[in-house]
Every structure is written in C-alpha cells, then in structure tokens.
Structure 1
Amino acid sequence: MDGFHDLGGTQGFGKVPHTINSLTYKPVFKQDWEHLAYSLVFLGVDQLKKFSLDEVRHAVERIEFRQHANTQYYERYVIAAATLLVETGVITKQELDDALGGDFKLALPSISEGRAAIIGRKGFEIGDTVMVRDEYVTGHIRMPGYVRGKKGTVLHKTTEKWPFPDSIGHGHVNAVLQPTYHVQFSTKDLWSDSEEGFVVVDLFESYLDKA
C-alpha cells in the first residue's frame, strides 16, 4: 500500500541531514522507553506467537495518516503491537483503555486479504536486467513505491528464503518462501532531476520480471 511509511523520492521535506560514519556505532535506542516498544513487538511475534513481523509492519502501515505523522518511530510500533494484540484476542480494547486511563487509538482495520506469491517460473541471476512490477496493492507490500516500473540490475541473490510479505503480512502462515535480490538502480532513472548515482534495493522475487 502507498502511505506515510513510504515517502522515498517525495519532494518538499527539505534536505535530510546525513553523515556516513563507519567508525563508531550509535545507540539503537535514543530514549529509555524505546527498547520496551521493541520488546512488545517480539512478545507477540516470538513468545506468544500471535502474529508475524510482517503483520506488525502492516499494522504500522495501517496507522491513520495524521496519527502516523505525529508519532515517533517506536511509538508506531507500540500502536501496531497493541492493535495486533487486540485483534488476536490477547487483550480487549476496553482493557487497554482502562489500563491507560483513556482512549488508545489503534491502527485502522485491514481492508485487504493480501495476495499470493508468483510461482512456477525461473528465478533471476546476478547480472540480469529486471523490471520491478508496476503494481498498486491495498495490502502489505515490501516494495518501495519509487522503484515501481523501473529497470535495474541484479547484484546478489540470497541463499536463504523467507515468507512472501504480501501473504504472511496478512496472517497466511502457508506463505511461499522466496529469495530476495539486491537490485541496483540508476538515480537518474528513479528521479530525473537527481544527481548521478545509484540505489540498491532488496526485493522479493515476486516483485520482479525479467526485462
């Protein structure tokens, strides 16, 4: 789905302050409470086994636009995890509200059942020119919108395989396992007014066609 979570290439936000620092490691969590938000996610994913990490990502995508714009990164994962804990019956919305002393705004309900992976075709090899499928879906997808319909070159194919996000993200535990590919794109092909360069995106097999 296209939403606030996928703003790559969107104009009007000004320059992003960024420095390359390969010599030091910054803390993962910038505030004391953030590690608790991360723990809440894996409580549901691993210990309770109530949902998958892709379902958490989909719940983040389902957060209402204005709420999404006014929350921090880890706040969104608290909202997503709480939403899924309610949807899977671990806790009720009323119990959540009572514990917090007010109305806790959950993510919006899902409007899609997801979709299956493409199967029965040969995969891609390093050096292949591929085209990202020009698809617009209402459900969970792990393909950035800015590469939709663009050509790129396969740099690497993973030896491991993972459940197709568009399926597992909607609770389909029988999701097809697929490799991902590191695909290199020219920045000029992605954004005509950009500086010369390249972007590498990790993409599942079902997002790609042979060009």
Structure 2
Amino acid sequence: MAERFGSGVRVRTIAVDPAHHTRIPRYARGKSRVWWWRERGRHPLPDVRSQNLPDPPVEAVYAVRFAARDLWGAGDHWVVVDLWESYLEVDG
C-alpha cells in the first residue's frame, strides 16, 4: 500500500481529547507546520485496541519531526513522535 504522506509533505496533527486511550501526546495535538519524516511500518490503531473493540484498523505509523519551539514556544532541538496515520492531515 502506498504511503499517504510522501516525502516533503507538511502535515498537521488532529486536535482530539478522547475519553479513551490515545497514542497522540497532548503536547502534539492540533499542531500545524510539522514535517513528515518517514513511515515506520503498519500497526493496529491502539485507540481501538484499548477499548477491546474487534478488528482494529491497521494503519501506517509515521515518525514526525517537530521543532521544539512549535510544541513549547522555545528550544532549538527536534522532537520525533511516532503517530498513526489517522492522527495526521495534510497541512495546506
């Protein structure tokens, strides 16, 4: 299956606050101008697995590189977060 987010595509994380478990960290939710880095395989969506629902969707997981200043307003380093495909949207 082809990657949804090819090299060089800017993405935005979804802004969610679900009542159940999610693997998108709160500090990374609703952030735009993040840069897709690379796909890290395909894995069952943990949001569905944590609810003991049958047949969790298997999605691509992307290593997304954020500038620390985009997450916390300061810092000159990068933070890499593994995010499932459904947590991401094309930015722009």
Q: Which residue of 2 aligns with 1:156?
A: 38
CA distances 1:144-169 after superposition (whole Å, capped 9, x unpaired): 000111121111112x3111111111
Q: How far has the Cα of 1:173 moved from its partner?
A: 2.8
What code does the residue aligned with 1:210 have? Answer: V
Distance in 1 separating the partners of 2:55 and 2:46: 11
**Is 2:19 the partner of 1:134?**
no
Q: Does 2:65 correspond to 1:189?
A: no
Alignment correspondent of 1:15 = none
Per-residue deviation, 1:195: 2.1
Q: What does the per-residue CA deviation read over 1:128-152, in whole Å, with 9 as the maximum and x for residues that have no partner?
A: 1100001111101000000111121
Task: Give 1 or 2 for the bigger CA radius of gyration.
Answer: 1
1:125·1:157 contact (CA, 8 Å) conserved in 2? no
In the TM superposition, structure 1's runs of 4+ consecutive aligned residues that sit over 2 Å from their partners are none
What letter matches 1:164 in structure 2?
A: L
The one-letter amino acid paired with 2:8 is G
CA distance in 1, matches of 2:53, 2:82: 22
* Alpha-carbon distance between aligned partners in 1 of 2:39 and 2:24, rounded to the nearest angstrom: 16
Distance in 2 (alpha carbons) for counterparts of 1:161 and 1:189: 27
Identity percentage of aligned residues: 32
Q: How does 1:75-86 map to 2 (within 5 A)?
A: none
Whichever structure has more strand as a proportion of its residues is 2
CA–CA distance in structure 2, aligned partners of residues 187 and 156 of structure 1 = 18
Amino acid corresponding to residue 69 of structure 2 in structure 1: K
Report which structure shows greater RCO (CA 8 Å, sep ≥6).
2
**Corresponding position of 1:201:** 81
CA distance in structure 2 between the partners assigned to 1:169 and 1:163 by the alignment? 11
1:95 aligns with: none
Contact kept in structure 2, 1:188 and 1:196, CA below 8 Å: yes
**Larger relative helix fraction:** 1
Cross-structure match for 1:105: none
Is the CA contact 1:140–1:166 (under 8 Å) kept in the aligned structure 2? Answer: yes
Out of 134, 144, 156, the residue aligned to residue 25 of structure 2 is 144
Structure 2: stretches of 5+ with no match in the other structure: none
Extract unaligned runs of 5+ from structure 1. 1-121
